[in-house]
Amino acid sequence: MKRSIEDTPIVFIGAGNLATNLAKALYRKGFRIVQVYSRSKESARTLADAVEAEFTTALDAVVTNAELYIVSLTDSAFMQLLPQIVVQKEGALLVHTAGSLPMDVWQGVTSRYGVLYPMQTFSKLQETDFSQIPFFIEASSVEDADLLKKIASILSKKVYDSTSEQRRSLHLAAVFACNFTNHMYALAAELLQKYHLSFDAVLPLIDETCRKVHTLPPKQAQTGPALRCDQNVIDSHLAMLADEPQMQEIYRLLSDDIHRLANKD
């Protein structure tokens, strides 16, 4: 009898935000997670319990008979632990989940390798719906690329081939679209707190801004004093930030760049 793809024994190396969400999503779809590794015993045990797997905090105790190893670590930890990760896993498919690392970091240390990159922001305490999250796939062979696409397609409707260079560009764009944007929210929250106002006051504005870019190019969706070249308002805001020189400089730089982009051909 032909075995289903969900029977593929999977090991997660890493138990952070991305690994936690991806492992749980695969588990809910019937995939068999056999083990979770993390340096943190609490993180390893928590994720392993959630997906009915064993856990370990020792790389030399990671099982060697799984068919797929999904490595989800920080870039620095990945490069440091790579020689240990691949030990005695000949014949298995090893993939990382990073947007910033090229696929060829695996080259020369293992024979089957690839990348399974879901482009999304993840938090352990926030359950993620993978159905609309784009997955970007790369592998050392056509067969393994097809396997990864089949696995990703069970989770998401948006699965794409991508080169390492494309993925690096996606990751850079994601930092602007997500990480930097969220930092703006954090700065806004600080300002509101300073004036005894609730962050809830700006949530409808944030929601509408996000909705607009689903139907308008971001450049066309831009509004505000910098776009209008309203120098009186800009100067007033800069004066209000006189006791926050770093925030003042961010405001000035962003305002200048909004004006630059608005006037770009």
Q: Say if residues 93 and 145 touch (Cβ distance below 8 Å).
A: no
pLDDT tens across 69-89, in order? 999 999 999 999 999 999 999
Q: Which CATH number fits domain 168-262: 3.60.150.10, 3.40.190.10, 1.10.1040.20, 1.20.1250.20?
A: 1.10.1040.20
- Picking from 101, 90, 51, 95, the residue whose alpha carbon sits closest to that of residue 69 is 95
pLDDT tens digits along 95-132: 999 999 999 999 999 999 999 999 999 999 898 999 99
Average pLDDT, the chain: 96
Q: What CA–CA distances, in Å, run from 146 to 16, 43, 90, 98, 134?
A: 26, 31, 20, 19, 16
> Higher-confidence residue: 5 or 133?
133
Q: φ and ψ at 216, to 5 degrees?
A: -125, 145
Question: Are 94 and 71 contacting, i.e. CB atoms less than 8 angstroms apart?
Answer: yes
pLDDT digits over 209-251, tens only? 999 999 999 999 999 999 999 999 999 999 999 999 999 999 9
Task: Assign domain 5-162 to its CATH superfamily.
Answer: NAD(P)-binding Rossmann-like Domain (3.40.50.720)
pLDDT at 1 over 70: no
Residue 64 neighbours by CB distance under 10 Å:
13
Percent residues over pLDDT 90 in the chain: 95
Residue with the larger pLDDT of the pair 227 and 4:
227
User: CA neighbours within 13 Å on the CB side: how many for 247?
Assistant: 17
Per-domain boundaries in the chain: 5-162, 168-262
H/E element, 33: strand 32-37
Q: Is 108 helix (H, G, I), strand (E, B) or coil?
A: coil
